[in-house]
Amino acid sequence: MEQVLELSRMVRGDDAFPDAQDGRRWARFACIAGREGVAGMLWAAVRERGVAVPNDAGRELATAAEQVSKLNRFRLSRLERIVAAFDEANVRLVALKGAALLRTLYDDLSLRPMTDIDLLIHPRDADRADVVLGRLGYEPGRNLLRSDFYPRFHYERDYVGRGSNGVRLDVHVRPWRPLRYARTVPDGAMMLDTVLVPLGGTNMHVPCPTNMVIHLLCHAAFHGGGRLVWAEDVRRFVDRYEGDIDWSLLLLRLRVWRLTFAARVGADWVESVSGEVLPERVRETLRATRVSWRDRWAVLQSPHDAEHPVRRTAVDMLCTPGWRFKLGYLHAVTVPDAGHLAEGYRGRHPGWTWCALASRWVQSPMRAILPSGSASTGAAR
């Protein structure tokens, strides 16, 4: 953690750079910078400050920055085609995270890596989006629990491009994973007040500055912190757009959408690695606002969903409003359709679906108490 904090100060341009003769230390920071997604930012800070860097570390940082720029340019070119196709089909599309930030915050494509393209649509447009993406050569990922699990219960679906469209898309119908917020955040709420930004020969929608900060803070909270690049996203975005962020509206939306605790957790993590980011009055309001135990459980469980699927299901059931909705979710989790069961059970014989279900019910509790990877992949995801 101490090295990440030191790296954060270096990326911000503080006088915390190692001596040019300390090749081992520079090599370590170059490696950490790549892992934390800030190699391009570190290289830019080095050049801006005229800092002497050992040749090996300098080449590593420069190569990483060049590669990030090349991949971002390719992905944005594919995104331009997607945006144009969605516009033609009259399906509303909003870019999130890296794709949005590269068009609003980072003027240099080498500064911020983007491993996939995150997009947001309204749940009612899921089938139409699938058709549009299929025409463009994108195939959906693995089968979910049931044919209606997305978009009814699951917040996203991944797509992978074929051939020259070889990029991965995460198509969201809701911005965040925890099931609770499928009920407390209205469908399409994060698509309010979007801003049009240029993308090649077209324009695309991105969240307004107020919603962008909400999304970034809560995203960090639901992942239990994360890479340094996420903290830098928030710090740099607030620094550039503070005058455009409606802080009163931000606090109101957090309260109404039951996201106050998530934003507080996200802000605490961001400020623990990147220094103070939010205005003091906003920070104080987040800390003073009372939150329910359901919000706490949903946020604190979210980073552990993959390792503890049974505990995740229990928290979802306890924290999500609406009994009919919860019972439908529980049925989907405990009784998946045959297409999903076939991925975890190889046998094909009379009554194989019942055997697959029994195997799943045995393995799922095992995954709740054993370390990740100890149980079969046939367990609940």
Q: Residue 199's pLDDT is what? A: 95
State how far the Cα of 344 lies from the Cα of 378, in Å rounded to an integer.
Answer: 4
State how far the Cα of 134 lies from the Cα of 140, in Å rounded to an integer.
Answer: 8
State how far the Cα of 57 lies from the Cα of 22, in Å rounded to an integer.
Answer: 10
Closest CA to 252 of 289, 216, 206, 280: 289
State how far the Cα of 104 lies from the Cα of 240, in Å rounded to an integer.
Answer: 10
Mean pLDDT per 10-residue segment, the chain (381 residues): 87 81 88 94 92 91 96 96 97 97 96 95 96 94 79 93 86 96 95 94 96 97 94 96 96 97 97 93 96 96 90 94 93 70 57 53 48 37 36
State how far the Cα of 109 lies from the Cα of 37, in Å rounded to an integer.
Answer: 13
Q: Residue 292's pLDDT is what? A: 96
Tokens for 116, please give them.
Answer: 């996939």
Q: Residue 372's pLDDT is what? A: 39
pTM of the model: 0.88
- For residue 288, the one-letter residue type is A
Show me where the domains of the chain are located.
208-291, 314-369
State how far the Cα of 169 lies from the Cα of 159, in Å rounded to an integer.
Answer: 5
Cα angle at 15 between 13 and 19, to 5 degrees?
115
Tokens for 63, please give them.
Answer: 């190569």
Q: Residue 356's pLDDT is what? A: 53
* Positive or negative torsion for Cα 129, 131, 133, 139: positive
**DSSP string of 27-64, one letter each residue:** HHHHHHHHHTT-HHHHHHHHHHHT----HHHHHHHHHH
Q: Residue 1's pLDDT is what? A: 77
DSSP state, residue 351:
T
